[in-house]
Amino acid sequence: MPELPEVETVVRGLRAPLVGRTLAGMWYDWPRTIRTPDPADFAARINGQTVHAVERRAKYILCQLDHDILVVHLKMTGRLYVAADTAVHDADRWVHFYAQLDGGQQLRFSDARKFGFVALVTDFATLAPDLGVEPLSDDFTIALMQARLQRHHKSIKALLLDQNFVAGVGNIYADEALHRAQIHPLRAADSLNTAEIARLHTTIPAVLFEGIEREGASINWYRKPDGSNGSAQKFFHVYDRAGEPCLTCGSPIAKIRVAQRGTHFCPTCQPAPVAV
């Protein structure tokens, strides 16, 4: 699933072709793609509204319209791009929704697995009321992180995947941040000491900023709005490198399952928690 750097890259790539454009209707062929409101109301409300901004909250794409917010969640296989009405792209075979734009273009949502969705809301909080702090914001402080860690005994990797704890971090960047912080993914969240919390507070935004600079990780389905690849996957320290040497110490990277997700770490740099 695209994570914060991938979604941020999509948002930045959509601003130029979308901001200032007026919506002139929509088309869909898979009802569950439209989360809310019902398709008839969606079509009536979207028609004639202008896009004023394209922003990101967690892993959500938010297009600010005159009266509503057009929200898109890419989920596992979603792609969002602007194309001329007559243009044909490889991803079009999985387009299940598009918004018609003025000037003979469309905002197309391609989603092979059909897990993604679009929504039209007046207040984004009604769609995702419990999202956690943005890890690239000033609100993401050591004090806040320490206070929240102390409330949880589950593994730190599982907690980082919880969007109510910190918004936008997923499997890839959780593994990368934990490795750089030298913390084993199975460590209980409330067992981290002050130095470890400080390191993790530094590495989480660091790996996210690097992912944004490299325009996301093009593994599996993720592509930028222009169809090209990001390059973050070329710089992973541990993710998807099971059996390869750790870039820090040379030990083979291990892979286990944590919170039902494949999890990569270095057994030497990230020592296992001591059994009590």
Same domain for 69 and 41? yes
Which of 126, 157, 180 is a domain's end point? 126
C-alpha to C-alpha distance for 258 and 182, rounded to whole angstroms: 17
Q: What CATH number does residue 215 fall under?
A: 1.10.8.50
Same domain for 218 and 108? no
pLDDT band at residue 6 using 50, 70 and 90 as cut-offs: very high
Same domain for 186 and 225? yes
pLDDT band at residue 24 using 50, 70 and 90 as cut-offs: very high
Same domain for 63 and 106? yes
What confidence score (pLDDT) does residue 70 get?
98
Write out pLDDT tens, residues 181-211: 999 999 999 999 999 999 999 999 999 999 9
218 part of a folded domain: yes
Same domain for 10 and 76? yes
Whole domain around residue 71: which residue ranges? 4-126
Q: Contact 128/73 with Cβ under 8 angstroms?
A: no
Which of 72, 95, 126 is a domain's end point? 126
Same domain for 13 and 118? yes
Q: What CATH number does residue 40 fall under?
A: 3.20.190.10
pLDDT band at residue 122 using 50, 70 and 90 as cut-offs: very high
Annotated catalytic residue: which of 210, 252, 261, 273? 261
271 part of a folded domain: no
Average pLDDT, whole number, for the chain? 96
Which of 126, 157, 185 is a domain's end point? 126
Domains held by the chain: number? 2
- Kindly give the interhelix angle for 4-18 and 194-213, rounded to the nearest 10 degrees: 40
What confidence score (pLDDT) does residue 1 get?
81
Same domain for 146 and 117? no
Write out pLDDT tens, residues 48-77: 999 999 999 999 999 999 999 999 999 999
Give catalytic status of residue 2 as yes or no. Answer: yes
175 part of a folded domain: yes
Percent of the chain scoring above 70 in pLDDT? 99
Nearest to 74 by CA among 63, 59, 89, 86: 59
150 part of a folded domain: yes
What confidence score (pLDDT) does residue 275 get?
64
Across the chain, the runs of DSSP E, i.e. the strands, are: 23-28, 34-36, 53-57, 60-64, 69-73, 78-84, 95-101, 105-111, 117-121, 254-258, 261-265
73 part of a folded domain: yes
Write out pLDDT tens, residues 79-88: 999 999 999 9
What average pLDDT does range 132-147 have in this prediction?
97
**What is the sign, positive or negative, of the torsion defined by CA atoms of 81, 87, 92, 96?**
positive
C-alpha to C-alpha distance for 136 and 134, rounded to whole angstroms: 6
pLDDT band at residue 274 using 50, 70 and 90 as cut-offs: confident
Element (H, E) at 133: none
SS3 content of the chain, % helix, strand, coil (to 5): 30, 25, 45
54 part of a folded domain: yes
Interior angle at CA 269, CA 267 and CA 274, nearest 5: 60
Annotated catalytic residue: which of 3, 6, 8, 176? 3
Write out pLDDT tens, residues 243-272: 999 999 999 999 999 999 999 999 999 999
Same domain for 11 and 95? yes
What confidence score (pLDDT) does residue 220 get?
86
Annotated catalytic residue: which of 59, 180, 187, 199? 59
Termini Cα distance of the chain: 35
132 part of a folded domain: no
What confidence score (pLDDT) does residue 56 get?
98
Give catalytic status of residue 252 as yes or no. Answer: no
pLDDT band at residue 161 using 50, 70 and 90 as cut-offs: very high
What average pLDDT does range 136-154 have in this prediction?
96
Q: Contact 172/204 with Cβ under 8 angstroms?
A: no
